[in-house]
Amino acid sequence: MVALTLPDGSIRNFDMPVTGLDLAKDISPSLAKKAVLMRVDGELWDLRRLLEKDHSVAIVTRDQEEDVLDVLRHDAAHVFAQAIKELYPETQISIGPSIENGFYYDVYREKSFVEDDLALIEKKMHEIVERNEPITREIWSRDKAIEYFKSIGEDLKVEIIQDIPGEEPLSFYQQGSFIDLCRGPHMPSTKFVGKAFKLMKLAGAYWRGDSNNMMLQRIYGTAWPTEQQLKDYLYMLEEAEKRDHRRLGKEMSLFHLQEEAPGSVFWHPQGWSLYTQVRDYMRARLESEEYKEVNTPQLVDRSLWEASGHWEKFRELMFATEEAEDRHLLVKPMNCPCHVQIFNQGNKSYRDLPLRMAEFGACHRNEPSGSLHGLMRVRAFVQDDAHIFCTEDQIESETIAFTKLLLSIYKDFGFDDVRVKFSDRPEVRAGTDDTWDRAESALLKASKAAGLETTLNPGEGAFYGPKLEFVLKDAIGRDWQCGTLQVDFVLPERLGATYVGEDGNKHRPVMLHRAILGSFERFLGILIENFAGRFPLWLAPTQVVVAPITDDVNDYAREVQNLLKQSGLRCEVDLRNEKISYKIREHSHGKIPVILVVGRRESEERQVTVRRLGSQDQETLSLQLALEKLENESKMPNGV
């Protein structure tokens, strides 16, 4: 007797083992038609696997995208590999997982594949899908598997199998004549892959990631449940390429990076203007919320990082100086231990709490060179870091205040769609389970009080406490994790932070680690891509260019520029001996928000003709009215 418990709590009893498909048919014929997988005791299984003992089982249909998407992409990877083997039988197939937004396979062929081959392989994939070939699971002994793959010349696969530890049999999946080592699961047949897939690009990959080994080709593809989702994804990729902050950074002369300073940014005047505008805005917002700005050293003795626990957890990311005068100084990778040192100076009372300590702190982390990516991943960066020292009773009110501030700031930068993840205790952590219970409970309660809807991000908390992660959605639908709020009972204990309570005794403060932008460098990269370089007027490095039509109005153009500068606007005047159409085209390409065109008529009547980026319309205004309008429009938001 096999008893299978369904999600609604009901139990289906069978006299003998049954497959998931049998179970689906027993529940409802219509469910059996839609079923593609089953979730057995929380784990996804093939629908045709036998249920030989009691289990909790849920039937999964293709419209349950969260469960099906990774499997769909895994199926597409196998269809891709089958297509390669049918077209080019001499090709060796190594590994081919599903990945975010798609899949890849590493393959070896003496004659390398080229871009033109992808269309032919893709056509064969569609044929295989149309064949509706069953995907079946088999269990083979290792000896049988090695013998089979040797017989078909798949030496890479033989090596993989030989290196798998243990002696137990292995699972393989077959569709048509193609078979591969695979844990699964897979959907019942190739037809469930559908039509919404595309091969994307070729890349190189060393066998097993070792540069001493042979070079393979990695072929990437993408797969989606519907053709509209595929179209949306391809559109997003096209837009992302147009918006790439590295390309725009070069075109707009904002910044550059070079080999002599890996992971460090050279900010050009235009880029530094953008940077300081963001910094000045953030500074004003923090001052209005009664944060106290501080600055802490770049080089700090190793003993402090050992006491805080960062040396144990982050030593591979920390830059160290050579030992001198019996000291081992490290370049700070984060600011929190230094902020505790400021808190510890002098006696603190409960009346001093909450104490909100902010720093635009320059930090350095020894990120692997292969992970560096423009402004998005650097080694030298500035965090908009702050730490709130408070009592346990103040966690809720401080979380509410921080969340309100954060969402307001994001809105000012053009981000209205914000999701929140709750990250709980990681496997490797500091502090007792009781401490973590208190911290997680306090943060969850505070999140609810702040009106936040959170999704669980298991095991992703900091080593000293749980955290909230704030994820922004940009103009083309991409997610960016920026802000964080972490509840920390551990670091104040490790570093001896205390305050005198109302009872006259010493107590440990709670430390709330919080950031809104994350790092300035990464956030500016996000801003560049979100706006595609077309910044709102208050952020634009150069807000206005005055463009005279003829040389005889140059004096008036300079006067307009001077008046704009007196109004606090960042402006330039273009006095080059070029046609006005050329000037307008060039400054529009440079993403200048406003061009003021002046000719003889404007000069005589003290007017300007206003052209705005992205609009074909223009309007002629009196100089005074134009100045007033632009001055009002260029002000920082939120009354800053």
187 vs 134: CA distance, rounded Å: 9
Lowest mean pLDDT, pick from 91-105, 183-197, 378-392: 91-105
From 302, 513, 591, 611, the catalytic residue: 513
**Among this protein's residues, is 601 annotated catalytic?**
no
pLDDT band at 428 (very low <50, low <70, confident <90, very high): confident
Q: Is 505 exposed, middle or buried (0-12, 13-18, 19+ CB in 10 A)?
A: exposed
User: pLDDT digits over 144-196, tens only?
Assistant: 999 999 999 999 999 999 989 988 999 999 999 999 999 999 999 999 999 99
pLDDT reading at 322 higher than 80: no
Q: What is the CA angle 488-419-532, rounded to 5?
A: 115
Predicted local distance difference test score (pLDDT) of residue 328? 87
Q: Is 80 exposed, middle or buried (0-12, 13-18, 19+ CB in 10 A)?
A: buried
For the entire predicted model, the pTM comes to 0.85
Predicted local distance difference test score (pLDDT) of residue 505? 95
Element (H, E) at 482: strand 479-488
Predicted local distance difference test score (pLDDT) of residue 174? 96
From 22, 180, 384, 385, the catalytic residue: 385
From 336, 338, 390, 482, the catalytic residue: 336
User: pLDDT digits over 551-579, tens only?
Assistant: 999 999 999 999 999 999 999 999 999 99
Lowest mean pLDDT, pick from 60-64, 104-108, 446-450, 487-491: 60-64
pLDDT band at 67 (very low <50, low <70, confident <90, very high): confident
Report how far Cα 455 is from the mean position of its chain's Cα atoms.
16
* Percent residues over pLDDT 70 in the chain: 100
**Among this protein's residues, is 467 annotated catalytic?**
yes
Three-state DSSP class for residue 418: strand
Mention every residue, 6+ apart, whose C-beta is less than 8 A from residue 495: 304, 307, 308, 337, 340, 341, 344
* Percent residues over pLDDT 90 in the chain: 87
Q: Tell me if 268 sits within 8 A of 256, measured CB to CB.
A: yes
pLDDT band at 452 (very low <50, low <70, confident <90, very high): very high
Lowest mean pLDDT, pick from 71-75, 307-311, 578-582, 603-607: 307-311
pLDDT reading at 640 higher than 80: no
From 383, 486, 543, 607, the catalytic residue: 383
Strands 418-423 and 467-473: antiparallel
From 73, 186, 467, 514, the catalytic residue: 467
137 vs 568: CA distance, rounded Å: 70
Predicted local distance difference test score (pLDDT) of residue 321? 84
From 245, 387, 507, 611, the catalytic residue: 387
Strands 11-14 and 136-140: unpaired
pLDDT reading at 325 higher than 90: no
pLDDT reading at 326 higher than 80: no
Predicted local distance difference test score (pLDDT) of residue 383? 94
Predicted local distance difference test score (pLDDT) of residue 323? 72
Report how far Cα 477 is from the mean position of its chain's Cα atoms.
12
Predicted local distance difference test score (pLDDT) of residue 436? 93
Q: Is 168 exposed, middle or buried (0-12, 13-18, 19+ CB in 10 A)?
A: exposed
pLDDT reading at 209 higher than 90: no
Predicted local distance difference test score (pLDDT) of residue 340? 96
Tell me the mean pLDDT in the region 271-294.
96
Task: Please report the domains of the chain, with CATH numbers, ordered by start residue.
Answer: 2-61 (3.10.20.30), 68-240 (3.30.980.10), 255-531 (3.30.930.10), 544-633 (3.40.50.800)
**Among this protein's residues, is 383 annotated catalytic?**
yes
439 vs 102: CA distance, rounded Å: 37
From 73, 186, 339, 365, the catalytic residue: 365
Question: CB-hemisphere CA count at 13 Å for 105?
Answer: 27
pLDDT reading at 425 higher than 80: yes
b/e sequence 25-54, b meaning 16+ C-beta within 10 Å? eebeeeebeebbbbbbeeebbbbbbebeee
Tell me the mean pLDDT in the region 95-106.
88
515 vs 470: CA distance, rounded Å: 10
Q: Tell me if 68 sits within 8 A of 225, measured CB to CB.
A: yes
**Among this protein's residues, is 513 annotated catalytic?**
yes
Q: Tell me if 223 sits within 8 A of 193, measured CB to CB.
A: yes
Element (H, E) at 137: strand 136-140
